[in-house]
């Protein structure tokens, strides 16, 4: 190959590499905006270590941001390690250390449409958000 071919290819690769962080930042911002909308008018409480079976019946995956569990008027937000892998199409398969879902428990992500296994995430503490006032 000549330099005439290599230079444009190298420039294209560099441009693509430079664009990846911008796309990731935009995806992160979208997830944070969606979470902020869910939590609007709510105040964070003291984090809790575990959620029992009833507290985790309703769960929502927020892309690249968090898992949100709804229990009555309270939302519990968990920002697991490996959050950059989270997608709305993921179904977390929890590996529990007890009957409760706790910080440090792991979840293997499974694609909703294909059933293929993906990344493993490690749960953090659960921050409760309740209506202000």
What letters, b where the CB count within 10 A reaches 16 and e where it falls short, cover 51-84? beeebbeebebbbbbbbbbeeeeebbbbbbeebe
The candidate with the shortest Cα–Cα distance to 80, out of 99, 54, 108, 118, is 108
Give the C-alpha separation, 64 to 79, whole Å. 9
Lowest mean pLDDT among 5-14, 64-73, 96-105, 107-116: 5-14
In this structure, what DSSP letter does residue 35 have?
H
> Is residue 120 within a helix (H) or strand (E), and if so which, with residue range?
strand 117-122
Query: pLDDT tens digit string along 41-87?
Result: 999 999 999 999 999 889 999 999 999 999 999 999 999 987 777 88
114 in helix, strand or coil? coil
Q: Is 30 exposed, middle or buried (0-12, 13-18, 19+ CB in 10 A)?
A: middle
- pLDDT surpassing 80 at residue 133: no
């Amino acid at each position: 190959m000549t330099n005439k071919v290599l230079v444009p290819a190298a420039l294209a690769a560099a441009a693509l590499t430079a664009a990846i962080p911008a796309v990731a930042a935009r995806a992160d911002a979208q997830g944070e905006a969606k979470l902020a909308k869910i939590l609007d008018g709510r105040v964070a409480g003291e984090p809790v270590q575990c959620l029992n079976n009833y507290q985790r019946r309703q769960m929502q995956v927020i892309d690249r941001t968090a898992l949100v569990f709804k229990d009555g008027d309270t939302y519990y937000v968990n920002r697991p390690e490996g959050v950059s892998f989270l997608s709305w199409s993921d179904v977390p398969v929890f590996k529990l250390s007890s009957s409760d879902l706790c910080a440090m428990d792991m979840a293997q992500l499974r694609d909703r449409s294909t059933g293929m296994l993906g990344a493993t995430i490690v749960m953090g503490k659960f921050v409760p958000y309740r209506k202000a006032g």
